[in-house]
Amino acid sequence: MSFDLLGTGSCLPARCVKNDELTQLFDTSDEWIRMRTGIEERHIITDEQVAGLAIAAAKAALRNSGTSAEELDYILCPTLGGDYITPSLACMVQQGLGAKCPAMDMNAACSGFVYACDIADGLFARGRAKRVLVVAADGLSRILDWNDRSTSVLFGDGAAAVVLGEGDGLKYLAVGSAPSLALNLPFLNGNCPYTAKKDRQTVLQMDGREVYRFAVDALSSGVASALEATGYAKEEVRFVVPHQANLRIIEAAAKRLRMPMEQFACNIQKNGNISAVSIPLVLDEFMNQGRLHKGDILVFSAFGAGMTAGTAILQWKI
């Protein structure tokens, strides 16, 4: 016994920033961004808080799954950070929902949603939970160098959630890591008089080429391994739902897997990269559009800073 996915929800900031607006900040163009990333626009936090987005997404997922906050046995928040280092984003979500269960954040960067599913699987297997809420949320615009077009054009903000319940929908799950600083965010400098001061920026930094190589390999090899382990044929997969980092990464992995792009569920064009939010956001969007049907086989495949990676196969039961 593992879990079924019972419901989805999401919430994006009101402010939508199109590529053309970014030309006011640095030397770029809509064509330059589209050609290299596939991104057309992204949502950016203005006066919202990450916790507010997460709570709204969680409430939608609870409503859509027919679950009350009182029924939750655990809240997991994959995130790079909420509005505070402490209390955790998960505790803020718990407060906002009026739930009474344990709640914790976890940081596996863009692979966080699959990692959270792995933790949830363990809770179900141990009989510790009947309902688990996974809420991914991030405000990546707060940690970017907005003078650097190579990173600031890629990311957006938002939240997405799923409710998991006991069931047999999960068919496969594997996570892993390959330590690297290719994508990193240094910790904030404090003013401790005993600590050597370091002249460094506390903004996201990325080696684009190394990240690209890792991502294409992680996505293609992760999907291939999952299919081999379960015996599913490529043709049986309704959608591969990849982390939405860069459309060119997804296209390269699809080519390596010899699978058509029509089998890859993408919404990066409208949202950019929102870290662990990407996969559940696609699920919520495709669910609302009627593009997912009971019995569909879905492959989740994520990769991110750390470097981390994770792949899961789920049979859609809604």
Positions annotated as catalytic residues are: 110, 243, 273
Tracing tokens 């009627």 back to the chain, one arrives at 290
Tracing tokens 């407060």 back to the chain, one arrives at 95
Residue whose C-alpha is closest to residue 50's, from 22, 17, 91: 91
314 is written with which tokens?
Answer: 């789920």
SS (H, E, C) 98-142: CCCCCEEEECCHHHHHHHHHHHHHHHHHCCCCCEEEEEEEEEHHH
What's the chain's Rg over C-alpha atoms? 19
307 is written with which tokens?
Answer: 């470097």
Ramachandran region, residue 219 (left: φ > 0; alpha: ψ -120 to 50; beta: rest): alpha
CA dist., res. 280 & res. 80, Å (int): 16
Q: Is 209 exposed, middle or buried (0-12, 13-18, 19+ CB in 10 A)?
A: exposed
Strand order in the sheet with 308-315: 170-177, 308-315, 297-304, 237-242
Residue whose C-alpha is closest to residue 53's, from 77, 72, 70: 77
